[in-house]
Chain A
Amino acid sequence: MLGGEIMSEIVMQITELTKVFPLRDSKVGFKAVDSISIDLYKGEVLGVVGESGSGKSTLARCAFGITEPTSGGTIILGQSLVGKSRKATRELRAHLGFVFQDPAGSINPRMSVHAAIAEPLMLAGMDSDSIDKRVNFLMDRVGLATSQLSRKSHELSGGQCQRVAIARALATNPKIVLLDEPTSSLDLSVQAQILNLLEELRRDFDLTYFLISHNLDVVSHLSDRVAVMKDGVFVEVGSTRQVVDAPKHPFTRELIRVYSGAAREFDLDTWQDGPMNRWAFQNVSTFLPTRKIEASTKPLEFKALIDDTLDAITIDVADSTYTLPELLADVDTDAIVVVRKATLVYEKYFNDMTEDSVHLLQSVSKSILGALYAVMVERGVIDIDKPIAFYLPELVGSVYEDATIAQALDMTVAINFSEDYSDPQSEMARLDRAAGWRTNTTGQDLGLRSFLGTMTASGEHGKAYQYCSANTDVLAWLISEVTQTPYQELLTRYIWQPMGAHDDASIIVDSEGLSVGNGGISCTTRDLARFGLLIVNHGRANGEQVIPTAWIDATLAGASADVESADYLQALHPGGSYKNKWWITAGASREIFGVGIYGQYVWVDPTSETVIAKFSSLPIPVDGVHSRKHMALFKAICAH
């Protein structure tokens, strides 16, 4: 039945076993084991692997009658542990053996080795001659000399202690033995001895093992079947070969990877992290569905006059002094293009990038959406002071029933949304799953539309700045719904071609073909600089007004002072704010920029008429050090 073997007899049957520990501040309590059912077959080794807090030890204790389960139970050799007389329970217990993690602790320190092994025999009522014979036999079987019999646990090494514990566990000739982290406190070389011994004893005495360990190597080595436990449930059960060779659950895969010592590999859950993102950000369209944003037939050209002196500037930041090339390397730069007064003055590519290769913009995509909305408003397509659900009635009942388009543009929607990129439970991670940016095995959030409909309000809108990526996705959906035109076509028609893009760009779409407006655009570095030039040139390109000047001026003025800002924003840019999907600094030279996680930027300094387009593949999504380094870098270039 399993692994081709026939396992006829079930020796232990665990049925819907649940253990709830009461919590002080909760009526529900903490479910350490959540309705686990599994059978143990005669002669097999069932290994349960899990991390601390997974509930594996509680499961074992409940299954073996050490702890009372909250519900469910165990049938051992055809008899239930529950509701039995003391005597019957004791007889049943004689069929069970126990080996625990801490060998020294599980043997009474005042007892001699002989007494420790003899104790269960005495309780079983054996006479002393038979006891001595049995103890000597067991000592021999676990590889200890009889000369050790008079010793006490503190006179033994860890391995010897564990051998004594095994002898004691086997004293009454049990049929099923619980091995709870049997080798976790032992050194590697001693662990191997004990593992070999356990296997030998299992074969010779026809034992069945219930093995619990955090160590996947130990579990997979010793077990016929492996159950992977996490948060009180088995996320995966199968023959050892199945589980090790073809793990199904992401946690099993992660555990196997960790134990193999391999680095994280490129897959749908890791592609955004360093170092996988170096290749991934330049090749998004090879592994995610994308739609094309088309180039202009008459691209905007700029003069090229490379200013080598930029390489010599020094930048003081984060307790160090860097030259420009040093700082670029430090922030894992993939590409940088600097355009000043319509002239290309600096251009560098790294990590296989060229002027023809595209790179994922991440949240700089949001700033492009901001520009598209400027055009749409001017054309009278929409009224940004209307609630979003006015245009998308599907969203009635969600946070977007009351939140207006303007509030979504300025990120002042009060929404229950955690933008935590590292927390797999955060709304941001759910958004990624809905957009197809991560594997989605949850069965929920299938597509952006269904995800966005589940978002709820957390307070009054328009009062405080709260960065939330979902707000941009909802706007990309809205505008293509109102215009009945795919989002990528709107971008092509109203931004990309009018601004004179040299190359095609692309945007990632979800499983239903809806554009991921919050971060899905990829384009060349120079085209990103062309987009930035629109701001410097008051919205004009190739002699035409692409985006309205008034909108640019309004955006440059920043958010209203009534809007409560965020600590991190003020720490980085005192007085700065977020408006129309752009970041704006305060002070005399008012810079405006778009930012994406892992180091994507378009930086515009209207005063010096400088545009910097820059791509990176930083190892982590956001951190203050990198942000500060980037700011220093941009300001130094603009000031040069």
Chain B
Amino acid sequence: MSTVLKISELEVDFQINGVITNTPLRGINIEIKAGKTLGIVGETGCGKTLTATAIMGLLPSSAVQRGQIEFADHGVINKSEMAAIRGSEITMIFQNPQSAFNPIFTIGAQLTMVAQRRGISDIKAILVARLESVGLRDPRRVLESYPHELSGGMLQRAMIAMALLSTPTLLIADEPTTALDATIGDQVLTLIATLQKREGFAMLFISHDVTAVAKVSDEIAVIYAGRVVETGPAHDVMSSPQHPYTRGLLGAIPSAEKARGTLVTIPGNVPSVLTNIKGCAFAERCSARIDKCDQEPPIVEIGNRSVACWVVKS
């Protein structure tokens, strides 16, 4: 199976006049196979969205990026090469469908601009067909509507239609269900999974919602303070988490089964991006911490899992 996206040692600094102000990404290593889904899980500020922004080549000019991004047959690509293929070979759907559409243009006008950019002919027919295929019953009305006239669920479907106007190689879904009600979000997830099966694109699925990520992903990467701390097949990561952070995160999910007041908690807070981190970023909150943890942790391979931790043993 061929690899669609391979990111090695991606690091991002923000600099002002050459002085590094913070380093929100400190080592992202991920790989997505053709037609498969990689889920990135992490809490606020851990660098999930920034990773997506870097892949799309949309980092602001104050950001300095190191490491490699390899994409499909293009090999290693830089920011300007990415600009040429984004929106066609890589497309993206976003967290808040209400703000992702321009409020003063109709959905039809916005989809048409994207369709033109992709060189699609017979735009109207393709748009109608596409909107139908994402489960919008009345595509003509949707095309003539302004964003504020449609519900969040409908807009997210329209966004998916826009992303899939022509089948991309990779779809990046950045918290696509977070702004939606749970049941609507689930419909959207099911739709994305169905379309993926039918059209065969690879997907990078980013969310703080562990349940949603587990549901759609083949592989999961858990990210903490700008670094991937654990990767592996979705089912394995969910059923036997290895990194202390992953364990803590899964233990923190409340449910009727867990006795009240006994949720696993991780003391403290996610370090701010301004914190200067040495060694393992999770060490100060980690109950398994040992002396070595103030040095950069090694990547330990456990079966089909990679874990960045001094404590776990292969």
A453 close to chain B: CB less than 8 A: no
Mask, B258-271, CB within 8 Å of A = 1, is 10111111110110
A-side interface mostly: helix
Name the segment of B21-29, B62-70, B97-105, B245-253 touching the other chain: B245-253
**A52 & B181 in contact (Cβ 8 Å cutoff):** yes
Instruction: List the A side residues contacting B139 at CB < 8 Å.
Output: 624
**B129 & A623 in contact (Cβ 8 Å cutoff):** yes
Name the segment of A28-36, A258-266, A336-344 touching the other chain: A258-266
- 9 tightest CB-CB pairs across the interface, nearest first? A221-B254, A199-B261, A192-B252, A220-B256, A51-B181, A624-B129, A192-B263, A187-B43, A623-B132
Q: Do A258 and B183 form a contact, CB below 8 Å, given A157-B269, A193-B265?
A: yes
A173 to B126: give the CA distance in the assembly, Å: 63
A468 CB, nearest partner CB in chain B, Å: 15
Among A192, A420, A571, the residue within 8 A (CB) of B265 is A192
**B125 & A571 in contact (Cβ 8 Å cutoff):** yes
B273 close to chain A: CB less than 8 A: no
**A188 & B182 in contact (Cβ 8 Å cutoff):** no
A257 to B215: give the CA distance in the assembly, Å: 12
**B166 & A218 in contact (Cβ 8 Å cutoff):** no
A542 close to chain B: CB less than 8 A: no
A629 CB, nearest partner CB in chain B, Å: 10
B239 CB, nearest partner CB in chain A, Å: 12
Instruction: List the A side residues contacting B184 at CB < 8 Å.
Output: 51
Name the segment of B7-15, B74-82, B88-96, B206-214 touching the other chain: B206-214
Q: List 24 A-B contacts (CB under 8 A).
A: A52-B181, A187-B44, A189-B248, A189-B249, A189-B270, A191-B252, A199-B260, A218-B254, A220-B255, A222-B254, A241-B256, A257-B186, A258-B186, A259-B182, A259-B211, A260-B211, A261-B214, A422-B137, A423-B137, A571-B128, A619-B198, A624-B129, A625-B130, A626-B133
**B215 & A188 in contact (Cβ 8 Å cutoff):** no
Among B183, B198, B265, the residue within 8 A (CB) of A330 is B198
A153 CB, nearest partner CB in chain B, Å: 15
Q: Which residue of the partner chain B has the closest CB to A160? A: B269
B275 close to chain A: CB less than 8 A: no
Q: Do A187 and B181 form a contact, CB below 8 Å, given A196-B263, A199-B261, A258-B186?
A: no
Q: Do A624 and B133 form a contact, CB below 8 Å, given A191-B252, A214-B182?
A: yes
Besides A189-B265, A330-B198, 20 new A-B residue pairs in contact (Cβ under 8 A), listed by A number: A51-B181, A187-B208, A188-B249, A189-B252, A191-B252, A192-B252, A220-B254, A241-B256, A257-B186, A258-B182, A264-B190, A274-B194, A319-B126, A319-B166, A420-B137, A571-B125, A619-B194, A620-B133, A620-B194, A623-B135
A241 to B214: give the CA distance in the assembly, Å: 25
**B254 & A624 in contact (Cβ 8 Å cutoff):** no
Q: Do A624 and B132 form a contact, CB below 8 Å, given A188-B253, A422-B137?
A: yes
B140 close to chain A: CB less than 8 A: yes
Q: How many residue pairs between the two chains, A and B, have CB atoms under 8 Å in the bound complex?
A: 122
Contacting A at CB under 8 A, from B23-60, are 43-44
A195 close to chain B: CB less than 8 A: yes
A224 CB, nearest partner CB in chain B, Å: 9
A195 to B255: give the CA distance in the assembly, Å: 11
Among A218, A318, A567, A620, the residue within 8 A (CB) of B135 is A620
**B264 & A187 in contact (Cβ 8 Å cutoff):** no
Mask, A597-640, CB within 8 Å of B = 1, is 00000000000000000000001101111101000000000000
Q: Which residue of the partner chain A has the closest CB to B262? A: A196
A192 to B255: give the CA distance in the assembly, Å: 11
**B183 & A188 in contact (Cβ 8 Å cutoff):** no
Instruction: List the B side residues contacting A263 at CB < 8 Å.
Output: 190, 215
Contacting A at CB under 8 A, from B204-252, are 208, 210-212, 214-215, 248-249, 251-252
Q: Do A567 and B140 form a contact, CB below 8 Å, given A222-B254, A623-B133?
A: yes
Q: Do A189 and B266 form a contact, CB below 8 Å, given A199-B261, A274-B194, A623-B132?
A: yes
Contacting B at CB under 8 A, from A258-284, are 258-261, 263-264, 274
Instruction: List the B side residues contacting A255 at CB < 8 Å.
Output: 182-183
A190 close to chain B: CB less than 8 A: yes
Q: Which residue of the partner chain A has the closest CB to B266? A: A189
> What count of chain B residues pass the 8 Å CB interface test?
49
Q: Which residue of the partner chain A has the closest CB to B42? A: A187
Chain B positions near chain A (C-beta within 8 angstroms)? 43-44, 120, 125-126, 128-130, 132-133, 135, 137, 139-140, 166, 181-186, 190, 194, 198, 208, 210-212, 214-215, 248-249, 251-256, 258, 260-267, 269-270
A17 close to chain B: CB less than 8 A: no
A497 close to chain B: CB less than 8 A: no
Q: Do A195 and B140 form a contact, CB below 8 Å, given A188-B253, A241-B256?
A: no
Mask, A155-167, CB within 8 Å of B = 1, is 0010100000000
> What count of chain A residues pass the 8 Å CB interface test?
54
Chain A positions near chain B (C-beta within 8 angstroms)? 51-52, 157, 159, 187-193, 195-196, 199-200, 203, 214-218, 220-222, 240-241, 244, 251, 254-255, 257-261, 263-264, 274, 318-319, 330, 420, 422-423, 567, 571, 619-620, 622-626, 628
**B135 & A196 in contact (Cβ 8 Å cutoff):** no
A215 to B208: give the CA distance in the assembly, Å: 14
**B262 & A625 in contact (Cβ 8 Å cutoff):** no
A483 CB, nearest partner CB in chain B, Å: 38
A420 to B135: give the CA distance in the assembly, Å: 11
A634 to B89: give the CA distance in the assembly, Å: 31
A535 CB, nearest partner CB in chain B, Å: 29
Instruction: List the A side residues contacting B182 at CB < 8 Å.
Output: 51, 214-216, 255, 258-259
A244 to B181: give the CA distance in the assembly, Å: 19
Instruction: List the B side residues contacting A264 at CB < 8 Å.
Output: 190
A341 CB, nearest partner CB in chain B, Å: 34
**B210 & A188 in contact (Cβ 8 Å cutoff):** yes
Q: Do A200 and B256 form a contact, CB below 8 Å, given A254-B183, A255-B182, A624-B132?
A: no
Instruction: List the B side residues contacting A218 at CB < 8 Å.
Output: 254
Among B183, B256, B262, the residue within 8 A (CB) of A244 is B256
**B260 & A221 in contact (Cβ 8 Å cutoff):** yes
Instruction: List the B side residues contacting A199 at CB < 8 Å.
Output: 260-261
Instruction: List the B side residues contacting A220 at CB < 8 Å.
Output: 254-256
B183 CB, nearest partner CB in chain A, Å: 6
The CB with the most chain A CB atoms within 10 A, among B126, B130, B198, B260, is that of B260
Q: Which residue of the partner chain B has the closest CB to A619? A: B194
**A188 & B262 in contact (Cβ 8 Å cutoff):** no
**A221 & B258 in contact (Cβ 8 Å cutoff):** yes
A628 to B122: give the CA distance in the assembly, Å: 14
**A188 & B137 in contact (Cβ 8 Å cutoff):** no
Instruction: List the B side residues contacting A624 at CB < 8 Å.
Output: 128-129, 132-133, 139
Among B129, B252, B256, B265, the residue within 8 A (CB) of A318 is B129
B154 CB, nearest partner CB in chain A, Å: 11
Q: Which residue of the partner chain B has the closest CB to A623? A: B132
**B211 & A261 in contact (Cβ 8 Å cutoff):** yes
Among B198, B211, B248, B260, the residue within 8 A (CB) of A222 is B260
A244 to B258: give the CA distance in the assembly, Å: 13
Instruction: List the A side residues contacting B263 at CB < 8 Å.
Output: 192, 195-196, 221
A624 to B210: give the CA distance in the assembly, Å: 34
Instruction: List the B side residues contacting A188 at CB < 8 Å.
Output: 43, 208, 210, 249, 252-253
Instruction: List the A side residues contacting B255 at CB < 8 Å.
Output: 217, 220-221
A1 CB, nearest partner CB in chain B, Å: 19
A309 CB, nearest partner CB in chain B, Å: 27
B177 CB, nearest partner CB in chain A, Å: 10
A625 to B164: give the CA distance in the assembly, Å: 13
**B133 & A192 in contact (Cβ 8 Å cutoff):** no
A340 to B181: give the CA distance in the assembly, Å: 52
Q: Do A196 and B265 form a contact, CB below 8 Å, given A218-B254, A319-B166?
A: yes
Q: Which residue of the partner chain A has the closest CB to B267? A: A193
**A261 & B215 in contact (Cβ 8 Å cutoff):** yes
Q: Which residue of the partner chain A has the closest CB to B211? A: A261
B147 CB, nearest partner CB in chain A, Å: 17
**B133 & A625 in contact (Cβ 8 Å cutoff):** yes
**B140 & A628 in contact (Cβ 8 Å cutoff):** no
